[in-house]
Amino acid sequence: MAENDDEMLPMPLGRFRLFLWGWHILYLGGLYLMLALAAVQDGPAHPRQVAILAVCVLLQTVLYAGLIIRQEEWPLGRWKALLYFGGSAALWAVQWQLDLRFLWVGWALIGQMFGVLRPWIAIPASAVLAFYFFVRARNWAIADISLGEVVGWVAMVILFLYMHGLGTASMERSRLVAELRTAQAALQASRDKDVELAALRERERLARDLHDGLGHTLVALSVQLEATQRLYRVDPGRASAQIDAMKELVRGSMDELRRSLAGLRTAGLAGRSLVEALLALCAAFEERSGITVATTVRGDVDRLPPVVSDTLWRVIQEALTNIEKHAEAQKVEISLDASPHAVALHVSDDGIGLPGGEAGGEDGGGRTGAGGSRLGLVGMGERVEGVGGKVEISNRRPHGVRVMVEIPLHRSLTLPALTERRA
């Protein structure tokens, strides 16, 4: 029996082995004790009888050691059970015929039946063995079997069934615990994989931002510098104005780069709860932009899986960044609602909305309301889809944009009475 089978046993592995060896020693010790008594008391007078008893005990030992002690499965296989109990019962019949000291072996075999066979096999098999014992003890007179003997056998069967039930229930609980631990390990591995995937997607998003933002700006600057260099000789005034425009473009690119690097340096929630990080983010946003933020949180969102909490926080961060850059809003509303089976996030503003009423559309100036640029929309969608959720972005009446996120939860959460925090 392997060490990792400990969880599938009705008791710890070491104690269970001790328990089994106690029964092995008791049974085999009893056989050899009876043989020793027969040899001492009857050997001189009946040496042939003692020799037959010795052969029977030796064969019983071989059967028991080979089929019971070394068994690796429960219950005992059909052919192994037939070989062991058929052979042991036949040997016991011979022993009983020669020496009454071996009567107890029959009851030991009945006990072993309930230990290594299924009850629906052990009950009829033990009934046959008990019936043989009773009629043999009454010189084959079936009518002489007393009610007390039958009741005694029934009581013994009930006792063995009770013990069998306890062992089976314990093993079933152990199996369920082992399955639960396996599921927890798989869930933890899945979470680790989700976190790693989220980090990879964050790197891809940053690469796209740098390429589509700073990269395009540098290309434009390179072209404008060449044009200014040629223009400076013929029209210094226009060349100076062009240089001023390039300076503004560089300042804008530097601000964009600082925002990207600030987002990169922020390591997700950084050990904070989601509510704590959300309130801090909104406070910094209000101070920086002058836009009012109303935050509503329902349910115990701080008990969400870490990868879900980080995804929600990143989406809120991206939405606020887009509002600050594009929406021209005066007020933002954030609603976060956690239930046992899903978490919903709504971020809405009262800004200029989406051009043409299309989610994620852009006008010539790149202003798209809370939805942000195409890059912002793609980043939001990839984050949420990475944890099995969905994003919907639409215009809000009479004006503004609403971002709606819903993420299903793949494990049950124990949520207390709904509480509401407002900032």
Question: Using one digit for the tens of pLDDT, what is the confidence trace for 46-100?
Answer: 999 999 999 999 999 999 998 888 876 667 788 888 999 999 999 999 998 899 8
What is the pLDDT tens value at each position of the chain, 423 positions in all? 444 444 445 556 567 678 778 889 999 999 999 999 999 998 888 999 999 999 999 999 999 998 888 876 667 788 888 999 999 999 999 998 899 889 889 888 888 888 788 888 888 888 888 888 777 777 777 776 777 777 877 887 888 777 777 767 777 777 787 788 888 888 888 777 766 776 776 677 677 767 766 777 787 788 888 888 888 878 888 888 888 888 887 887 777 777 666 655 555 566 788 888 889 889 988 988 889 999 999 988 888 888 888 889 888 988 888 888 788 889 999 999 998 889 999 999 998 887 655 454 333 333 444 444 545 666 677 778 878 889 998 888 778 889 999 999 864 333 333 333 334
Q: Which amino acid does the sequence have at 87?
A: G
CA–CA gap between residue 98 and residue 101 (Å, rounded) = 9
Among the listed residues 344, 331, 325, 348, the one whose alpha carbon sits nearest the alpha carbon of residue 403: 348
Tokens representing 191? 């979470």
The answer to whether 157 and 120 have CB atoms below 8 angstroms apart is no
- From residue 358, alpha-carbon distances to 316, 374, 393, 394 in Å are 21, 12, 9, 7
Q: List CB contacts of 127: < 8 A, sequence separation 6 or more.
A: 153
Domain ranges within the chain, ordered by starting residue: 3-145, 269-423
Distance CA 144, CA 150 (A): 11
Cα dihedral sign for 109, 110, 114, 118? positive
What phi and psi values does residue 339 have, to the nearest 5 degrees? -120, 175
Cα–Cα distance measured from residue 69 to residue 24, given in angstroms and rounded to the nearest whole number: 8
- Packing angle of the helix pair 78-98, 104-116 (nearest 10 deg): 170
3-state secondary structure of 337: strand
CA–CA dist 205, 418 (Å, integer) = 35
**Contact indicator for 349, 390 with CB cutoff of 8 Å:** no
Look at residues 366, 377, 319, 370 and name the one whose alpha carbon lies nearest to residue 213. 366
Give the three-state DSSP class for 335: strand
pLDDT for 364 equals 34
Angle subtended by helix axes 47-64 and 13-42, to nearest 10: 170
Spatial contact of 1 and 74, defined as CB atoms under 8 Å apart: no
Widest distance between CA atoms in the chain:
140
Q: Which amino acid is at 405?
A: V
Q: Which fold has domain 269-423?
A: Heat Shock Protein 90 (3.30.565)
CA dist 412 to 19, 94, 415, Å? 40, 63, 9
Neighbours of 375 (CB within 10 A): 16
- What's phi and psi for 422, nearest 5 deg? -125, 140
Cβ-contact 318, 282 below 8 angstroms: no
Calculate the CA 218 to chain-centre distance: 48
For β-strands 401-408 and 342-349, DSSP reports them as antiparallel
